[in-house]
Chain A
Amino acid sequence: MAGKHSLFGPVDPAADAGYEEDRPPRKGFFTDTSICIGCKACEVACKEWNDVPATHFDLLGSSYDNSFSLNANQWRHVAFIEQPKRMGEQESGLRRQAQEAAGQQAVDLGMPGMAPPGVMLPESGEDDAVDRPDFRWLMSSDVCKHCTHAACLDVCPTGSLFRSEFGTVVVQDDICNGCGYCVPACPYGVIERRKGPEGSKNVGIAQKCTLCYDRLGSGKTPACAQACPTQSIQFGDVEELRERANARVEQLHEAGIMDARLYGNDPEDGVGGTGAFFLLMDEPEVYGFPPDPVVTTKDLPEMFTRAGAAALVLLAGAALSFVGRRR
């Protein structure tokens, strides 16, 4: 509640929250989905470190992604997007080169194909276009965005959610009321009240990614970034990560992958930029992100003004009703 920018616009969130000059630089994630392999190591590492309960037997039957979405029991979520789209110009050509170098022809190993029984697939090895599937996989590890203007934090009536010295947003589970107000407030649908499984800790309490606050405090890397085998999840100072992200997008554009774009890195967007931002290969909504999220508290001053006007109308209306005729 400090300066005039508190509800919208580019600010250093930790400074805005009142941390002194000697605070550490803002920390965050840059998730480069172009190199995510969908191994879900981040999901597992997060659950292990943060003691997030598993939710068993959630086979959804719609895709290979069975962890559904970010929620109270899922602080990292790897989305598997199966698109009817070729891989673009991404052509490794490694196999043919290797075969030619060895002077070999491709040998059919009789592996099971993708077609229904009895249907012959075209011979492999003749043409790369045949080998190449006519769909592509996009994989993306989603996480709490640690917004510059965090609606969850702003609407929390107990002060359970707070801004850490690293500029991240953390829930104190011993203070949280379980009122659930932060849940609909989040424009990304990240935070949620834990529903179960029975017997696990903090049931009924709002839960989400803490950006491993406990690990940051001792100078360590968050568990998910530590576990990521491809460095798809990069952790560091937000300033530096933004530079790195811009360089990576340029690199991809030069390679002809014009679909590559950054999401959440712009400090002048609807949430003041996020602490965790992403390199995406398609529109944000493909990954289950809102295309142009806005922090709800941006409109809060006007909301209170309207409510104040409505309250006055009620007061005046009631007073008028009693004026005049006796009956």
Chain B
Amino acid sequence: MTTPGIEATPGSAGGRTRRRGGRRKGGGDRSMVPEATFTSYYGRPIVKPSPWENDIPIYLFAGGVAAGSSLIAAGADLTGRPTLRRSGRLGALAALTVSMVALVHDLGMPSRFLNMLRVAKLTSPMSVGTWILSIYGPFAGVAAAAEVVSMLPPRLRGGPLRLAAYADRPAGLLAGLFAPPVAAYTAVLLSDTATPSWHAAYKELPFVFVGSAAAASAGLGLITSPLEETGPVRRMALGGAVLELVMEQRMEHTMGITAEPLHHGKAGRLMKAAKALTVAGAAGSLLAGRSRVIAVGSGLALLAGSACTRFGVFEAGQESAKDPKYTVVPQRERLDRGEPIRFEKPAEPPVT
């Protein structure tokens, strides 16, 4: 059982005041925002942090890499870039495997994944995600298998393996078609909770995540393919990184006080690292056409940046759930403005 630092006296007369924005560097930076005053029950959390551990951000990251890689593989297939196609397909399968292992590890046993397939529920992003993965996964798997078959010496490609040549392109293209939802739904997975910093991010988080997925998978492409095939992934790396950085900035702007956890502690360090790595990776991608070393370095930075983004957002949400401030203050401010969330009857359709 957790015992957080408990110092506050509960009750409106003993309202506790905490600094907004935490400690600031230097002395000259005066906060122009009033300090957040709020009351809580002995400072104990109101909403519960998710019981998830590192499995889940790993799952988010690997899912993004898999999705982006399938897209790259499909593009490479259509434009005749065999090495990029191969690395994309194999990378997608490897990343998908990592994400499934992480998911099953989080659930505890494989049969529990199957348990999820007993219902399809549109109100549950996890159920929707399970189905998206279940549709996407086999195509990505077949595409990767066909890739492996094509790598075999011709005399071993006999028998049923000959079918691989027929399945190859359709499977790869379908995997690419179903990949974008794989990258995007994970944002809904986090946002559809009462965890303050995840819910408040719901408008921009999907764009941050797809940008991050594009940058990371393009990074993998940069690492694994020769320079003459990496033109598209260099463009994708730049586009993904810019999308991620811009949308992350916008997200923090709309989140209000719940953006704070993104700047503090472990989450703050991760987000800072994510920004630095993504910027470095994006800058590197501009020069990656000239040197293999720069390409590999930039690819690694993009992958690491994407991982840091996932871990940072995850961690910030967990922290926001542990401090009642992030639950009480936004709701209290809303009430004080006189706009509690209430159901309003939709206007009657005009009678004709």
Q: Which residues of A approach B to under 8 Å, CB–CB? A: 1, 6-10, 55, 58, 60-63, 65, 68-69, 71, 79, 81-85, 138, 151, 154-159, 175, 177-181, 183-193, 204, 266-270, 272, 282-283, 285-294, 296-300, 302-304, 306-315, 317-322, 325-327
B210 at interface (Cβ–Cβ under 8 A)?
yes
* Known interface pairs A178-B108, A186-B48, A312-B180; A317-B10 also in contact (CB < 8 Å): no
Return chain B residues, CB-CB under 8 Å to A318: 68, 71-72, 75, 176, 214, 236
Beyond A158-B119, A292-B335, A292-B340, list 13 extra A-B contacts (CB 8 Å).
Answer: A157-B130, A177-B107, A177-B116, A179-B107, A189-B194, A269-B341, A296-B191, A299-B202, A300-B125, A304-B188, A307-B181, A308-B181, A321-B233
Classify the interface of chain B: helix, strand, loop or mixed.
helix
Output the nearest chain B residue to A191 by Cβ-Cβ distance.
B48
In the complex, A229→B331 CA distance in Å? 35
Q: Contact partner of A306 among B47, B52, B128, B203, CB < 8 A?
A: B203
List, in ascending order, chain A residues with CB within 8 A of B166's CB: none
A159 engages B228 (CB within 8 Å)? no
A259 CB to nearest chain B CB (Å): 9
Contact with A along B31-63 (1 / 0, CB 8 A): 000000011111011111111100000000000
1/0 per position for B191-234, CB-CB distance to A under 8 A? 11111001100111011011001100010000000001001110
Known contacts A151-B194, A183-B48, A306-B203; A58 and B1 CB within 8 A of each other: yes
**Across-interface contacts of A307 in B (CB, < 8 A):** 181, 184-185, 187-188, 206
B207 to A, closest residue via Cβ = A310
B contact residues around A267 at 8 Å (CB): 343
* A286 partner, pick from B11, B118, B128, beta carbons under 8 A: B11
Known: A84-B9, A151-B194, A288-B40. A310 touches B232 (CB 8 A): no
- A-B contacts, 19 of them at CB < 8 A, read A1-B123, A9-B343, A84-B13, A155-B125, A158-B116, A175-B115, A186-B194, A189-B47, A285-B46, A286-B10, A286-B11, A288-B41, A289-B46, A299-B202, A306-B207, A307-B206, A310-B210, A319-B75, A322-B78
In Å, the complex CA distance between A266 and B181 comes to 37
CB <8 Å contact, A181 and B9: no
> What chain B residues lie within 8 Å of A315 (beta carbons)?
71, 177, 180
In the complex, the chain A residue whose C-beta lies closest to that of B230 is: A327
Q: Which of B143-151, B264-272, B321-329 lies at the binding interface?
A: B321-329
Which residues of B are in contact with A by a Cβ distance under 8 Å? 1, 3, 6, 9-14, 38-42, 44-52, 67-68, 71-72, 75-76, 78-79, 106-108, 112, 115-116, 118-119, 121-128, 130, 176-177, 179-181, 183-185, 187-188, 191-195, 198-199, 202-204, 206-207, 209-210, 213-214, 218, 228, 231-233, 235-236, 239-240, 243, 289, 317, 321, 324, 327-328, 331-332, 334-335, 340-343
Contact call A290/B180, Cβ cutoff below 8 A: no
Q: Is the CB of A84 within 8 A of B183?
A: no
Q: Which residue from B3, B199, B231 sits with its C-beta under 8 Å from A326?
A: B231
In the complex, the answer to whether A292 meets B341 with C-beta atoms within 8 Å is: yes
Q: Are A294 and B48 in contact (CB under 8 A)?
A: no
Instruction: Give the complex CA separation of A191 and B49 in angstroms.
Output: 11
Q: Are B195 and A184 in contact (CB under 8 A)?
A: yes
